């Protein structure tokens, strides 16, 4: 592809990205300007397989291999806003996937620690995030249920896979006044909830019903 064609394609993707933010994110009530700018900045088409690039900015999830998906843009925006992050925030993400959500967080936060249990996905995301100069993002291959205790406490924890109940290690690793955003439930449709730690106790708020891939251990068994 020639240089002019590449530039034309990038301009087209930029227009699609702006339309995504306007019609899918803002129109549904996401108002946090840092989140909106991050979603304008991160090139979502770089985080999906080549055959899906033209669908990168559509209103829905996309497969990224190994039975995993990149979440619907609105859900990414909503979950990020619910964390109430700032430039000093330390965040833990469970379920790196393609690295897209980590990149969004990396545009906003001081540091992002993200864990992926599927080794091939995690390594691919690690390379891509490094190539794109997301130096604030650190990727680990491992079991997200256990969290990342040596890097705790976290101001925010975002979980992009669904356990049947909220993991105790993640509760413990959440900082005082921190927030965890997590899909949870035993049925196909999960509850997206926010847990806010106040005086050592977790206050739970239900947000919306959602669909996420299950959280699994290293043997592929569901948590």
Q: What is the set of active-site residues?
A: 71
Tell me phi and psi for residue 53, to 5 degrees.
-55, -40
| The pair of three-digit structure tokens given for residue 177, joined into one six-digit string | 């006044």
CA dihedral (115, 26, 84, 105) positive or negative: positive
Q: Measured between alpha carbons, how far is residue 214 from residues 27, 119, 210 in Å?
A: 29, 17, 12
Token pair 């590449």 is at which residue?
6
Contacts of 43 (CB under 8 A, 6+ apart): 13, 17
Neighbours of 90 (CB within 10 A): 20
Do residues 81 and 53 make contact, with C-beta atoms less than 8 angstroms apart?
Answer: no
Q: Measured between alpha carbons, how far is residue 48 from residues 22, 33, 95, 128, 184 in Å?
A: 21, 25, 15, 11, 25
Do residues 83 and 181 make contact, with C-beta atoms less than 8 angstroms apart?
Answer: yes
């Amino acid at each position: 592809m020639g240089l002019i064609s590449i530039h034309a394609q990038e301009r087209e993707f930029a227009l699609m990205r702006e339309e995504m933010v306007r019609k899918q994110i803002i129109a549904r009530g996401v108002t946090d300007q840092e989140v909106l700018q991050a979603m304008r900045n991160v090139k979502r088409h770089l985080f999906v397989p080549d055959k899906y690039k033209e669908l990168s900015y559509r209103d829905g999830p996309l497969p990224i291999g190994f039975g995993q998906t990149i979440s619907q843009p609105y859900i990414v925006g909503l979950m990020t806003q619910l964390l109430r992050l700032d430039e000093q925030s330390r965040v833990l993400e469970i379920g790196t996937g393609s690295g897209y959500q980590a990149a969004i967080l990396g545009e906003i936060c001081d540091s992002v620690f993200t864990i992926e249990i599927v080794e091939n996905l995690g390594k691919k995301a690690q390379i891509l995030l490094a190539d794109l100069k997301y130096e604030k993002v650190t990727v680990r291959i491992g079991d997200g249920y256990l969290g990342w205790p040596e890097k705790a406490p976290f101001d925010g924890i975002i979980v992009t896979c669904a356990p049947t109940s909220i993991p105790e290690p993640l509760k413990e690793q959440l900082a005082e006044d921190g927030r965890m955003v997590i899909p949870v439930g035993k049925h196909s449709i999960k509850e997206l909830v926010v847990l806010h730690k106040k005086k050592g106790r977790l206050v739970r708020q239900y947000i919306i019903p959602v669909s996420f891939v299950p959280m699994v251990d290293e043997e592929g068994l569901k948590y």
